[in-house]
Structure 1
Amino acid sequence: MSLNQTQVSQLYVAIFGRASEKAGNAFWQGEGDTLSVVADKMLASDGGTWYFGDKLNNNQQFIEHIYKNTLGKTADQDPDGIAHWVAKLEGGESKGSVVEAMINALVTGDFTGDTLAIQAQQRFLNRLAVSDATAETNLTADLTDASMQKFANFINSVDHTPASKAAAIAAVEAAANASEPPVQI
């Protein structure tokens, strides 16, 4: 069984901090049957090593990066949470399995009564919706700073509000429409 578009979007947002493009999303859907397997493959890919550089070799920096992408939080804002996930890596869990656990905790967690956690969850879900919308377009990406920044920009302004999600999806659609070749009649 392979992953679906939204699961791959979860990985793009969590790992790369950007929306997924159609070809990349489709490719990763067939690369494994669990988020952890595909996450480990993404991290080992040319794109993963290009994007992370030395952060892949430092568990603290890696978790801080994923935390920022998923929750929008820094180590100063949640040192205990970051320490929890770093301990998982230090205990021998793969980066992919930790990323999967973080995503699952965020997506399925019941944060009743914790406004900040609810907002972080909705922020992540909104960013997934934008990534999925981007994966439905003809937009393409390559391993250049400009290309990666373009796909990061699609989600950078997305927060927990429906308005930010709608504005980002409109920006994605406008970019896709601008890049489409003219119709020959």
Structure 2
Amino acid sequence: MSTSEQTEAETATLPGERLRLAREALKLSQQDVAGQIRISVDKVAALESDEIARVGPPVFAAGYIRAYARIVGLPADELIPQFTGLVHLSTRSAMRLSTVDESGLARLSSGRPAAFSRGNGRRRGRPLRWIGLLLLILTIVAVGLWMVKSGNLSLTEAPQERMAYKPLPQKSMPEKPMPE
């Protein structure tokens, strides 16, 4: 990338435009960049047109921006905060792209990792867990009742021997000297 092209890419106002100008200066196509980042061409186009909502969750968008910037030689640490200004996130999630740390974890405004924060959305799977537990208990009770009714299990009587023990007859073996 020549100095004038690099300066032009750095002075572009929108971060997507900076990425596009840097890519074009390197004579790379959107398909080339998409192949290197391993995302669809549509997502590369969305990044270049500053439509972050089409890219996916903010954590993924930050990773794509970082990888794209690395490919075209732009500083990702400058681009991510610029994209942050373009993203309108609800106050509920309170997640910002600028709070993606070096390890790639998104952090909430409280500083805790997003995946482990308290009150981060509705707890999914809880009703499903209770339904599964209820079905398991009902199955155990049903099997127990079936065994009692079919006679396989008696709650009042002690188990009786079903077959009387009869010792096997012992056959005596003639004593023959064993050949040596």
Same fold (TM over 0.5): no
Structure (1 or 2) with the greater helix fraction: 1
Greater relative contact order (CA < 8 Å, ≥ 6 in sequence): 1
- TM superposition score normalised by structure 1: 0.24
**Structure number, greater radius of gyration:** 2
Could you state the TM-score of these two structures normalised by the residue count of structure 2? 0.24
Greater fraction of residues in strand: 2
